[in-house]
Structure 1
């Protein structure tokens, strides 16, 4: 009998993987499900990106293995982008590691710095992948609580020491933003306690009323911090799998030891497309946000119909809402909406204990589809 590794008992299939199977089965039975659960941008990348990729795919060496650290022009483009967006200087030679999506970066960083039994600080609510990978590596997870009445910010005075601390602002799933002063406090905590601070930062350009912060806007943060970023949300390129780790040379070199064992470099035309995307100016982001404003307004209308409580100051591609009907928990509420209206909304407990009683709506549906969802509910 062939037995799976014991580590497999620490995790289950990703929630959205299982849920998509359920939705597919419902659609096989003739139901048309509107999916407002997953953050999968449906819009096209900036004009010219796909054309650049097509042209690059016809080059003689396009299909060969690529460098593990990405082509030089991609790293230069990332460096220029960080300067343009965040006013941060990044050395393209030593401080950038392109990724096939930032999700793999979570694994690479964790494998590089977590031994069995090492403690890792993970936000609750937070991105489930932080926990899953830590469990696979048999690290000791210490969840730190985030609460709505504290703007989903950590209570630093209550945090113990750990090897790694994950933070994520604008925050997923709540959309909460962070001030520069609060970011400084977290960096100071990490410095005092010799914690590797990892800022997961893919949502900073979407509906963010404040300045877009990088962890490296804080003086001295490079000594103890890494930052993950991605083009998936900002440039509608989720399936392209283009991400990056930013950090000092020593950190990048360690992570590269892991990454170079896991893949053989990013497809050359995708790198060329990514360069073209990052070369676009702020008008692209402004146009994207105008579209998301239209979508968010419809979701707010739906939330108002259900008497859900939500913040009008959140950012990112989701609306995080609290159920005010105490008779329903978030799973029951989500299942009821799916059964009654054939609309899928994510229950908040997927993101941790403190997500219970909340639900998350995705804005990754065209206005026309969101209007259909609204009409189903209002009729």
Structure 2
């Protein structure tokens, strides 16, 4: 059977997130704080728009790039929220989630051997998508003392004549770190100096606390060298609708549309009609969710400090990244024991890169009641370790 398998794909490790999710699915008594999925229902008006589209028989393929009406709303939304100006006809592609956008972007810009500098810890799909596209990921390890922000000096250390792009993700999964305009400007300068593309995953752009999200694509000179990846899963609680989008230079978007055309054809029609309503009328619902996440975020930061767990305070997304280095065990061992002994599922930080070792990713996309119960079990587990 080995002769029938791709060596490139076989060499990839399965997702460290899904591993724990699959275990929990067989353990009904367990509490999972591992999955990055909003616990809110999709806003009713969004669901109703999807239902209405079905009742009206709007069940046919859309254009490859997505409904023109949706692309127009995306362009208006990006300009209104983040000062990003993209033409809906030529510079926006609607995808099956942000994940497809990442894959299509890598396959559209990379040639064999091209290097992409990736800031870790990061979402689990970045490196595999680069590898499957024939590229070579070059990892920059972010540091807690820098608040997990990427520094220009770190990029300069990794630059070679094969470097083609830099991959960033802010607000960050798993750390919750954000980068301000002042933080992003040196990264933009680096990209311009060395004629590099920037792929910016901004799926958590609506989930920031105490500051507005800034896209690197909005900085001077960056529009023509940035691919902005975003979607509806996190901000609008639409994970199961599987809808995302990519905005970028026309020449690249034309190639991405070809990849999308041959592999997907078009994103789900019902989801696209629902997304139009989300962009037009759900600012209030998004604000309600952000307020709830912020309450949970502050609760967890305080609770971890009371437990004696060192914890960087996240400023975005809905994750917290406490350190468990003082216990002298790997993240995998800690998470496995916690699951077996206290029935709590938390993703080991090592799932997000080697520099995530010694940390845990805890999602607070759960109710306060669930978080209180989980933290009680975690505190009991830690008390045993400290004896």
Indicate the TM-score class for this superposition, using the shorter chain for normalisation. over 0.9
- Give the alignment of 1:14-93 within 5 angstroms: 14-27=15-28, 32-60=29-57, 62-93=58-89
Name the CA distance, whole Å, in 2 between partners of 1:101 and 1:164: 22
Shift of 1:281: 5.4
Aligned residue in 2 for 1:273 = 274
Aligned residue in 2 for 1:103 = 99
The 3-state SS of whatever aligns with 2:304 is helix
Shift of 1:301: 4.8
Shift of 1:36: 0.3
Correspondent of 2:129 among 115, 130, 133? 133
Name the CA distance, whole Å, in 2 between partners of 1:357 and 1:378: 18
CA contact (8 A) 1:298 1:371 kept: no
Shift of 1:213: 1.1
CA contact (8 A) 1:96 1:244 kept: yes
Name the CA distance, whole Å, in 2 between partners of 1:72 and 1:83: 17
Point out where structure 1 has 5 or more consecutive residues left out of the alignment: none
- Give the alignment of 1:204-219 within 5 angstroms: 204-219=205-220
Name the CA distance, whole Å, in 1 between partners of 2:159 and 2:293: 39
- Give the alignment of 1:1-379 within 5 angstroms: 1=1, 3-27=4-28, 32-60=29-57, 62-152=58-148, 153-154=150-151, 155-161=154-160, 162-280=163-281, 282-377=283-378
Deviations 1:82-119 (A, max 9, x none): 12211222211111111110101111011111122111
CA contact (8 A) 2:174 2:321 kept: yes
Deviations 1:44-94 (A, max 9, x none): 12231111110101123x222221111111011101111221122221111
CA contact (8 A) 1:167 1:198 kept: yes
Shift of 1:324: 4.6
Name the CA distance, whole Å, in 2 between partners of 1:236 and 1:351: 23
The 3-state SS of whatever aligns with 1:325 is helix
Deviations 1:248-300 (A, max 9, x none): 21111111111110112122221111011111254333211221123224433
Name the CA distance, whole Å, in 2 between partners of 1:58 and 1:139: 45
Name the CA distance, whole Å, in 1 between partners of 2:84 and 2:120: 29
Shift of 1:177: 0.9
Aligned residue in 1 for 2:384 = none
CA contact (8 A) 2:67 2:272 kept: yes
CA contact (8 A) 1:298 1:370 kept: no
CA RMSD of aligned residues (A): 1.8
Residues 156 and 135 of structure 1, relative CA distance in 2, 3 Å threshold:
closer
Name the CA distance, whole Å, in 1 between partners of 2:203 and 2:144: 21
Shift of 1:246: 0.6
Aligned residue pairs total 374
CA contact (8 A) 2:104 2:260 kept: yes
TM-score with structure 1 setting the length: 0.93
Identify the range of structure 1 (359-368 vs 322-331) with the bigger mean alpha-carbon deviation.
322-331
Name the CA distance, whole Å, in 2 between partners of 1:143 and 1:290: 34
Name the CA distance, whole Å, in 1 between partners of 2:378 and 2:140: 36
The 3-state SS of whatever aligns with 2:94 is strand
Residues 88 and 363 of structure 1, relative CA distance in 2, 3 Å threshold:
same
Name the CA distance, whole Å, in 2 between partners of 1:356 and 1:45: 34
TM-score with structure 2 setting the length: 0.91
Deviations 1:145-165 (A, max 9, x none): 211112222323323041121
4+ residue runs over 4 A deviation: none
Deviations 1:152-182 (A, max 9, x none): 2232332304112101111221111112122
Name the CA distance, whole Å, in 2 between partners of 1:17 and 1:326: 25
Shift of 1:378: 5.2
Name the CA distance, whole Å, in 2 between partners of 1:21 and 1:173: 19
Identify the range of structure 1 (199-208 vs 297-306) with the bigger mean alpha-carbon deviation.
297-306
CA contact (8 A) 2:140 2:155 kept: no
The 3-state SS of whatever aligns with 2:42 is coil
Aligned residue in 1 for 2:383 = none
The 3-state SS of whatever aligns with 2:113 is coil
